[in-house]
Chain A
Amino acid sequence: MTPLLKVENISKFYGHRIGCKDVNFDLYPGEVMGIVGESGSGKSTLLNCLAGHLDPDTGEVLFEMRDGAMRDTVTMSEPERRMLSRTDWAFVHQHARDGLRMNVSAGGNVGERLMAVGARHYGNIREEAVDWLGRVEISETRVDDRPTQFSGGMQQRLQIARNLVTGPRLVFMDEPTGGLDVSVQARLLDLLRGLVREMGLSAIIVTHDLAVVRLLADRLMVMKDSHVVETGLTDQVLDDPQHAYTQLLVSSVLQV
């Protein structure tokens, strides 16, 4: 098996401040990797570099295109990269309003990605939107409502539907459960887990919630002060952490 994503030496600086430094890893098809670390440790910076939202200062992000070729998404042309973001990639934002069009109906939000790749049959688009709303447990009767009329958890589920409708191969998520209350989180996680399995998705999930990674991630990467301090199988990193910071992180959280 060849990796879906090869990340080599990614660094990003904000002036003198370091966003993230020398990050390396491979992600294989179907793998879910969690990124944990304290606030300001560079998780979002790294994710945004990987997803093409930020230009890294060094390094390569090699992605396996549908034809099997590995392409550096940092240096590819913007149209190509934006095409990837509409098709093979998905990005679930922490704040639903960053990932949704708040003045467009739920159906339109889900349908947009289909229309962006050329779907031109209203009935089919709508049918698919309704199907996806169902998969994220939003009733068909809400298809014409705007996200502003949805609860935080529903907005987040809508964002996921909107992202997954085009059958992406790689999903980036930045704190997908942040700001939601615990029972809503559990439901969302369960849903995500099911979708990831069912669709064979690869995913990179940034979170500071160890319960989230325990549940969703196969592998874990721990960041501190812009550096990766530890990586490994999720349960191994959580149950037998090697780095001082990881040990602190794990011991400070009850019952993960």
Chain B
Amino acid sequence: MSDYNFAYLDEQTKRMIRRAILKGLAIPGYQVPFASREMPMPYGWGTGGVQVSAATLTPEDTLKVIDQGADDTTNAVSIRKFFEKTAGVDTTEETAQASVIQTRHRIPEEDLREDQILVYQVPIPEPLRFLEPSEIETRKMHSLEEYGLMHVKLYEDIAKHGAIATSYAYPVKVEGRYVMDPSPIPKFDNPKMEMAAIQLFGAGREQRIYALPPYCQVVSLDFEDFPFEASKADHPCDMCGATDSYLDEIIMDDAGNRMFVCSDTDYCASRRKAGHVGAQAAAASVALKETAA
């Protein structure tokens, strides 16, 4: 612990990142450039999110790290360990217990509170990149609010697939001003972005930070005749029976049997602990009883 400054980064770097975060909060959805530092992990492993978390954490914080909803993936575990080691903060898998949650590609199912901070890992912060490769041009488009191009992308989706096929990183407009990439969360999570907690977005390789203050207006782009839908698999969770959570589809065997389970592992576990039982879990317990008998 004494080998490192608190949370790995030196104080000056943290100050610089905090300034970027504050500016981001002051201009919701605006991408603030910052001088990304080398972290002891490769880009693409959440270096942006880690730097934002490092600048956000205080010794009293409790940290939760999720990767696509799960607390137990290698990536989530190693980031959690990193902060346990460099900041000595408490960690948890329970959403409600955490004061800072670093996430990759999901928003927890449980509503977040005003005393919580959600930190996103962002691979490509520029929503206009898809059609306009020039950074100079995209910056100009943001500053002049020229967002027609964003709808061109959605138009192309409908023309090609008959519906807006974009299901991840679905673009949003923040407070009626900046168009923002919400990072590759499923569009099911988009409506949750209007939340009580502070949301911070860090892109390490692209050196950008942006933010959403609490209760900020976040509108998913759409067409009048093709309105935005926060879709998910039309199925209850096979483990906990939840009908309101985002599901992962898991292939069970070569015969093509599959199962739908909450992608938010903590949500699923706490529902099961509270006695909720999904179809597969029920079948499994019946099978178990039969074997026991």
Contacts and interface: CB of A to CB of B under 8 A. Distances in A.
Given A82-B144, A108-B159, A144-B160, A121 B224 contact: yes
B150 to A, nearest CB: 8
Contact of B156 (A78, A104, A116): A104
Interface residues of A, number: 24
B225 A123 contact: yes
A108 B223 contact: no
Contact of A112 (B140, B148, B222, B224): B148
A144 B155 CA distance: 11
Interface in B141-169: 144, 146, 148-149, 151-152, 155-156, 158-160
Contacts of A65: none
Nearest to A82: B144
A108 B151 CA distance: 9
24 contacts: A78-B140, A82-B144, A82-B146, A101-B131, A101-B152, A103-B131, A104-B131, A104-B156, A105-B159, A108-B152, A108-B156, A111-B155, A112-B149, A112-B152, A113-B148, A115-B148, A115-B149, A115-B151, A116-B148, A120-B224, A122-B223, A126-B155, A143-B159, A144-B160
B129 to A, nearest CB: 13
A125 interface: yes
Contacts of A256: none
Q: Which of B159, B222, B224 has the largest count of A CB atoms less than 10 A from its CB?
A: B159
Nearest to A146: B156
A126 B152 CA distance: 11
B155 A125 contact: yes
Contacts of A15: none
A144 B159 contact: yes
A54 interface: no
Nearest to B159: A144
Interface string A72-110: 000000110010001000000000000001011101100
Interface of A: 78-79, 82, 86, 101, 103-105, 107-108, 111-113, 115-117, 120-123, 125-126, 143-144
Counting from the closest, the 3 A-B pairs by CB-CB distance are A116-B148, A122-B223, A115-B151
- Helix, strand, loop or mixed for chain A's interface? helix
A78 B144 contact: yes
Nearest to B149: A112
A20 to B, nearest CB: 26
B159 A79 contact: no
A105 B160 CA distance: 9
A120 B223 contact: yes
Nearest to A121: B224
B225 A122 contact: yes
Given A112-B148, A113-B148, 17 more contacts: A79-B144, A86-B146, A103-B131, A105-B156, A105-B160, A111-B152, A112-B149, A115-B151, A115-B152, A120-B222, A120-B224, A121-B225, A122-B155, A125-B155, A125-B223, A143-B159, A144-B160
Nearest to A80: B144
Contacts of A107: 155, 159
Interface string B212-226: 000000000011111
B137 to A, nearest CB: 11
Nearest to A103: B131
Contacts of A103: 131
Contacts of A104: 131, 152, 156
Contacts of A78: 140, 144
Contacts of A120: 151, 222-224
A78 B139 CA distance: 13
Interface string B111-152: 000000000000000000001000000001000101011011
A101 B134 CA distance: 13
Contacts of B155: 107-108, 111, 115, 122, 125-126
B158 A122 contact: yes
Nearest to A83: B144
A111 B152 CA distance: 7
Nearest to B224: A121
A120 to B, nearest CB: 5
B131 A121 contact: no
A231 to B, nearest CB: 36
Contacts of B149: 112, 115-116
B226 A122 contact: yes
B153 to A, nearest CB: 9
A64 to B, nearest CB: 23
A125 B160 CA distance: 15
B204 to A, nearest CB: 28
